[in-house]
Amino acid sequence: LTNVANSRTFNVTFGGAQVKLIASDVGRFEREAWVESVVIAPAERYVVDVRFEEPGTTLIANSIQAINHFRGEFYPHVDTLSIVTVSTETAAPDISDSFYSLRVHDEIAAELEPYRPHLNREPDYELEATVRVQDLPTPIVLAMEADTLFFPPMEWNDAMPVMNWLSTGDQVTWILKDRDTGAENNDIDWNFKVGDLVKIRIFNSPDSFHPMNHPIHIHGQRFLVTSMDGTENQNLVWKDTAIVPVGSSMDLLVEMSNPGEWMLHCHIAEHLSAGMMFSFTVQGQ
């Protein structure tokens, strides 16, 4: 599964079929797991095995709890992504035995061993995600504030087209702010060496004018999501994109393995083009 949408996070469901989560952006999970659905933000990738047991038609769908921002009410919403037709013929060869066993990858656990001492240490850098608006007409400010009376940690139903229609990049700046230096977006100046392991904490401030979730994407390097809101991640996987819900704090351990000048940015296209990015350098050995 690859999410190539410009702003929408999906909750992908496979009808009644059984779904096994195998891998994400840059490799396999330590352990395979049964899942009900796959939450996938723009630029994220997941690999799943799905077994369709019953002949007939099954929907692959985006199954979400949408929200009415004005009333603060959630309501179920389903968009069909594709239709799977399963014939009455039995699949050959029969691989159900291997499907129904969840593999534990000792080789992945072994590969992660050198990184484990770094998983729980304090961050080297802290970023805050926020937004600033300027020169917006008052009725639009009021409408956007009302829209934010009730905001979910994840923006399941996509308010972006409305937001974009109401504003331009001149009026809205999406910001990644270095909490240590106060530098924002392109003024952030980070320099690393090949082999550096860098712990980055990203806090998505719920106190901004219009908080939204942000899928943070790093070019050229891989990272582990080591914890979310202080809860350790018990099933690690190498990634290059991870979503920070509103109000959440996410810790990444980034392995600087690839020399050059690289971007760190939000992968919501509108946020990226409204400022939410910077570049960092990795010096070769």
Give residues in contact with Cu ion (CB under 5 A): 214, 266, 268, 271
Q: In terms of CB distance, is 266 or 282 closer to Cu ion?
A: 266
Q: In terms of CB distance, is 214 or 222 closer to Cu ion?
A: 214
Shortest CB 275 distance to Cu ion, Å? 10
Q: In terms of CB distance, is 58 or 204 closer to Cu ion?
A: 204
How many residues can be counted in the chain? Answer: 285
- Phi, psi of 166, deg, nearest 5: -80, -20
DSSP assignment of 87-102: -SSPPSS--HHHHTSP
Shortest CB 271 distance to Cu ion, Å? 3
Q: In terms of CB distance, is 19 or 266 closer to Cu ion?
A: 266
Instruction: Tell me the CB-side half-sphere exposure of residue 91, using CA atoms within 13 A.
Output: 9
Residue with tokens 């534990």: 104
Closest CA to 180 of 122, 251, 126: 126
Q: How far apart are the first and last CA of the chain?
A: 36
Shortest CB 129 distance to Cu ion, Å? 7
Q: Write the secondary structure of 24-42 as one string of H (helix), E (strand) and C (coil).
A: ECCEEEEEEEEECCEEECC
Shortest CB 214 distance to Cu ion, Å? 3
* DSSP bridge partners of 133: 172
Q: In terms of CB distance, is 20 or 210 closer to Cu ion?
A: 210
Shortest CB 218 distance to Cu ion, Å? 14
